[in-house]
Each structure stands twice: as C-alpha cells, then as structure tokens.
Amino acid sequence: MKNYNVTFLISLALFSSISHLWSQSGNSSLSEFGIFENQANIGDPVTDGMVAYDTKNQTYTISGSGTNLWGEQDEFQYLYKSIQGDFILRAQVEFLNKTGDPHRKIGWSIRDNLSGNAKHVSAVVHADGLASLQYRKEAGSVTGEVKSTDSLPNVIQLERRGDTYYMSTAKWGEAFTTVEIGKIGLRNEVFVGLFVCAHDENAMAKAIFNNVRIIKPMPPSKVAYQYYLGSNMETMNVETGQRKILFQSAHSLQAPNWVNADRELVYNSNGFLYRYNFETNTVHQINTGFATNNNNDHVFSFDENLIGISNHNPKDNEDSSIYLMNSKGDSLPRKITKDGVGNSYLHSISPDKNTLLFTGWRNEKYDIYAIDVKSQKETQLTDTKGLDDGSEYAPDGKHIYFNSNRTGAMQLWRMNSDGSSPEQLTFDKNYNDWFPHISPDGKWIAFLSFSKDVPSGDHPFYKHCTLRLMPISGGTPNIIAYIYGGQGTINVPSWSSDSKHIAFVTNSDY
C-alpha cells in the first residue's frame, strides 16, 4: 500500500522456448545450461554424466555416476556457475530412477575449484532420505557433516552469509528445517551448482531439478527503499508448483495482474504501469496521463473495463489518492478520493463497479474503507487499534477478505461487504499473513506469508517468505512457493481467469 520508486529503464532478458538441449562434457554454449555456465565430471568418474536443459519448462535433468561425495575425494556430475559474495541456491529435486544404491545423492555443492578433493559445502539428499550439510575445510581432508532431522525432502535451499552456510530442506508444501555450519574458509569467488552422484562407479543415477534459482540477496551494507534489487516476473501452476520466469529486469518490478483473457500481465515500476504480452514477449507502457507517480496498488474491475490506481497527488502533499480510468488507457484518470483526507491505497473494485475498497489513513491510523464511486462518500468498515489492510471483494461481492494484526500477529480475516461479522481465517504461530487473493472460481485463497522475524505491521522488500494456498472454506494452508521477495511480490489480485495459475515477482541483485 506504499509507493516505492526506482529509476527505470526497462530491460528484459527473455527466455527462449526451444526444445531440449543435450550436451556431454566438452565445449558448449551457455544457453544449453540455462542459468549455469557449464558442466563437469568432478573427480573423473569412470562414466561421464550428462545434462539436459528443457527451456520450455525451465527444468534440468542430470545423469551422474561417481563413487561418492564423501571422504577425501569426490566423484559426481556437476552443473555449475561461478559467483561471488552472498547468495541463495534453491531447487525442487527428484530421482528419476527408483532403483540403485540407497546412498546415491543429489543436491547443491559450493566449491573452491573443480577438483575432486576441493574444499566445499554441499547440501545433500540421499536416496534413502537422509539430508545433511556436508563440508571439507581443507583440500584433500576428510568430509564432515551436520545431519538434518528432515527426511526425504524434495526442496533444497543452500545459503551463504559471509562464512556461514545454511541448508534448509522440506517436502514441498511444508516449512523448512534448517541446519548450519560456519568457518569453512571458502573463497569469495566460488563455483555453485547442482550435482548427481550414483555412489557406484558402474551405475548411473538420474534426477530432475525444478524451480531452480540462484539468488543474490540484499547486500548487508544497503538500505531498502534507497537501494533496489532486480526482479523476476514469474508465473506458477498452483496445483503442481511448477514455476516459470517470464522475464527479468535489473530494476524493481511490482504487483502483476493477470488480464485480457490471460494474454497479458499488468505491473508497475517507477510510478508507471506496463503491459506484458505472453504471445509476443513485448512490453507496452499504459497511458495514465498526469498520473505518473503510481504505487503498486492498481486493480482491475472484475469485467476488466476499469482500472483503479493509487497515484501520489502533487496537489495534496504527495499523499496517495485513488483514481479510476478506462483500462484501455484512452481516458484521463478520474479522481475518486478527496484532497486533504489522508493517504488512500486502493485494493479492490466491487463486482458492480460502484464501490472501491481501500486502506485509508484516517484518525491517525490505517483502517479499511469503502467509497462510493459516484457520490465519493467514504464508509469506514474496520476500526481497530491494529493495522487492517489488503481488502478484496469475493467474486460474488458478498464478502471482503483482508489481513489484520488486531490480535497481535498479522492474520487473514473475512467480513460481510458492509463490514459486519468479521471472522478470523488463519491462526498461524510462525507466520504473518498478507494480501489474500481469491481465485476467480471462488474456491481458493492465495496469500503471502512472512516469518515472525518481520514485524506484524510491516511487509518489507527482500525477505525469505512463502506463497501459501488455502481453501476458501478454511483449513490448513499449504506452501506453494518458497521465495525471496515480499513488498511488490503479490500485492494485487494476480490469479489467471481459469484459477489455475498466479503471477508474482521475486527479487535478486543482478
């Protein structure tokens, strides 16, 4: 509900959509390996491994032999990239061959060099379910490990912060279990990559890696809102969890809406709104006339004929004011909120297009308000000591979903469209929940969850957080995405019209 601006010169690095590319060891082009540079058979195993990158689905299939990743010498197949400083590595993993040595291994490895006896830190999952953080502190020394209590995870995250390494693992949909090791003394410049080890020199293990991400987090020396990270514009199948990066920018992109019969996304950056077309992979700026200081609270009417924006009004001390305009961009925005009333951050348009929902700064606090489009009369819907935010109409217009920290933690709530009968929906002990978005079929709520190290009244940039999903009728939410993001990730309604996909933004320092 705030305005965060950056100097914006749009730059896209579009992924191609060609068929599988296969390569064995030797010379290769970078496009063959997606976000990685090359591959290597570490330790010279008897049988060379193989890598396949599926550019359409952005998945990696790796076959590897090798005797072990353990002891004083390693042998495995490695798909790697060189990198410096702090970083976060994450992937969803699965063995494709169901037979073989129970100690065959997959995961991430951070290495000083490409020799078999190199110093390293590796997040390792064994076929028998063991998850461990392995390390070698000196070249050629014996490998050590920190075992996790997690068993049979299929999501692996390995993070470096200075000289401390954190392995986080989970079964997809569940919370991470984390172990750590420090004082390893790896170089600032290291290789990072995915690996497969058969634990048998005469065998070949095969695994697939989905949702692979290499993230450069916010540098500790930088201050958010003064320094901005780059952005990944992503879509996800909410049933399978399969994600795809549509394009990347070195600038801050925020809050995508899925519109135009699922042919386009609308998002904001540097006070302007843009349309991304799936078919042509092109971006066009939306004409918002004088409104050139828009924040990320832009929403469409259910029929997509109107778009509402929150623009910082230079005639009203730069307070955020709400405007409506034709979604085609061929009419000037019409101001709905009045000058002098306080900041107003739009969140939803009623199905009949007669009423807008917004978070308003009134009476020295933020509450949820409705405003009649024609009369401009405001109606206060919530009145608590805490923060109420993120309001959204259900598709039938009978209920409003929102987030509130009135009970301490930020949780999801529902109330009648007139503000009556508020009902708490989530009761999380480990999360602060923000921005409930209702699927067009009215069956699901997708929302953003921060861990408890984030204050309940804040939704900052550049944090480890999750996207979660729960039935509209209630129940235990499931994690559908482990992300690095937060502010701007999913502030606005971002479901596809078929209720099968969502769009969102994640961040990395490019």
Give dist(CA 346, CA 341) in Å, integer: 14
Tell me: do 192 and 287 sit in the same domain: no
The length of the chain is: 510
Are residues 256 and 177 both part of a single domain?
A: no
CA distances from 132 to 60, 115, 315 (A): 22, 21, 59
CB 390 within 8 A of CB 415: no
211: domain CATH number is: 2.60.120.200
CB 254 within 8 A of CB 274: no
Inter-residue contact 423 to 413 (CB < 8 Å): yes
6-10, 73-77, 165-169, 386-390: segment of lowest average pLDDT:
6-10
Q: Which of 32, 399, 49, 358 is nearest to 196 (CA)?
A: 49
Calculate ∠ Cα 287-289-294, nearest 5°.
85
Residue 443 lies in a domain: yes
* Within a domain: 12: no
Which DSSP symbol is given to 338?
Answer: P
**What total of structural domains would you count in the chain?**
2
For residue 495, what is the DSSP state? Answer: B
pLDDT of 26? 34
- Nearest CA to 236 out of 509, 489, 46 is that of 489
Is the model's pLDDT at 117 over the cut of 70? yes
pLDDT of 375 over the 50 cut: yes
Torsion sign (Cα): 278, 283, 287, 293 = positive
CATH number of 411's domain: 2.120.10.30
Interatomic CA distance for residues 494 and 505, integer angstroms: 11
The secondary structure of 267-301, three-state, reads EEECCEEEEEECCCCEEEECCCCCCCCECCCCEEC
pLDDT bin (cut points 50, 70, 90) of residue 20 is very low
How far apart are the C-alpha atoms of 149 and 133, rounded to whole Å?
11
CA angle (388 as vertex; 384, 394 as ends), nearest 5: 125
Rounded distance between C-alpha atoms, residue 418 and residue 402, angstroms: 13
Give pLDDT, residue 440: 97
Cα–Cα distance for residue pair 310/298, rounded to 1 Å: 6
CA distance 496 to 440: 8
Residue 328: predicted pLDDT: 78
Write the pLDDT tens digit of every residue in 280-320: 999 999 999 999 999 999 999 999 999 999 999 999 999 99
Token pair for residue 35?
């976000």
How far apart are the C-alpha atoms of 510 and 508, rounded to whole Å? 6
Average pLDDT over residues 473-489: 96
Mean pLDDT of 65-69: 96
| Residue 28 placed within a domain | no
> Please, what is the average pLDDT of the chain?
93
Compare 11 and 230 and report the one with higher pLDDT: 230
**In angstroms, what CA-CA distances link 459 with 4, 157, 182, 448, 498?**
13, 23, 30, 9, 28
Asked whether residue 505 carries a pLDDT value surpassing 50, the answer given is yes
Q: What is the 8-class DSSP label of residue 77?
A: E
Give domain status of residue 142, yes or no.
yes
Task: State the average pLDDT over residues 206-212.
Answer: 98
Query: Is residue 251 domain-shared with residue 136, that is, in the same domain?
Result: no
Same domain as 253, residue 196: no
3-state SS of 394-454 is: CCCCCEEEEEECCCCCCEEEEEECCCCCCEECCCCCCEEEEEEEECCCCCEEEEEEEECCC
Please indicate, yes or no, whether residues 117 and 253 belong to a single structural domain of this protein: no
Residue 342 class from Cβ within 10 Å (0-12 exposed, 13-18 middle, 19+ buried)? middle
Query: How far, in Å, CA of 105 to CA of 97, rounded?
Result: 12
Q: Return the number of other C-beta atoms located less than 10 Å from residue 309's C-beta.
A: 22
Domain match, 255 and 127 both: no
pLDDT at 114: 98
The SS3 of residue 21 is strand
CA-closest candidate to residue 65, choices 100, 98, 34: 100
Q: Which tokens belong to 378?
A: 């405001």
In the structure, what pLDDT confidence band is assigned to residue 7 with cuts at 50, 70 and 90? very low
Residue with tokens 């169901």: 98
The lowest-confidence range among 11-15, 49-53, 137-141 is 11-15
Band of pLDDT at residue 510, cut at 50, 70 and 90: confident
Which two tokens mark 306?
């109107």
Tokens of 4: 């965060």
Same domain, 282 and 157: no
My answer on whether 124 and 55 are in the same domain is yes
Of the pLDDT bands very low, low, confident and very high (cuts 50, 70, 90), residue 29 is very low
Residues 166 and 262 in one domain: no
- The answer to whether residue 333 sits within a structural domain is yes
Residue ranges making up the domain that contains 58: 34-215
> pTM here?
0.92
Are 259 and 211 found together in one domain? no
* Residue position matching structure tokens 């930088």: 222
How far apart CA 57 and CA 272 sit, in angstroms, is: 30
Name the residue among 275, 273, 278 with its Cα closest to residue 263. 278
- Does residue 436 fall inside a structural domain? yes
- Distance between CA 469 and CA 479 in Å, rounded? 6
383 assigned to some structural domain: yes
Question: Is the pLDDT score of 460 beyond 50?
Answer: yes
Contacts of 136 (CB under 8 A, 6+ apart): 117, 118, 119, 120, 142, 143, 144
Q: 135 - beta bridge partners?
A: 121, 144
* Same domain as 204, residue 120: yes
Q: Do both 292 and 415 map to the same domain? A: yes
What is the distance between the alpha carbons of residues 439 and 392, in angstroms, rounded to a whole number? 11
The 3 state secondary structure assigned to 16-83 is: CCCCCEEECCCCCCHHHHCCCCEEEEECCCCCCCEEEEECCCCEEEEEECCCCEECCEECEEEEEEEE
Please indicate, yes or no, if residue 338 is contained in any of the structural domains.
yes
Contact (CB, 8 A) for 229 and 488: no
Q: What is the mean pLDDT of residues 218-238?
A: 95
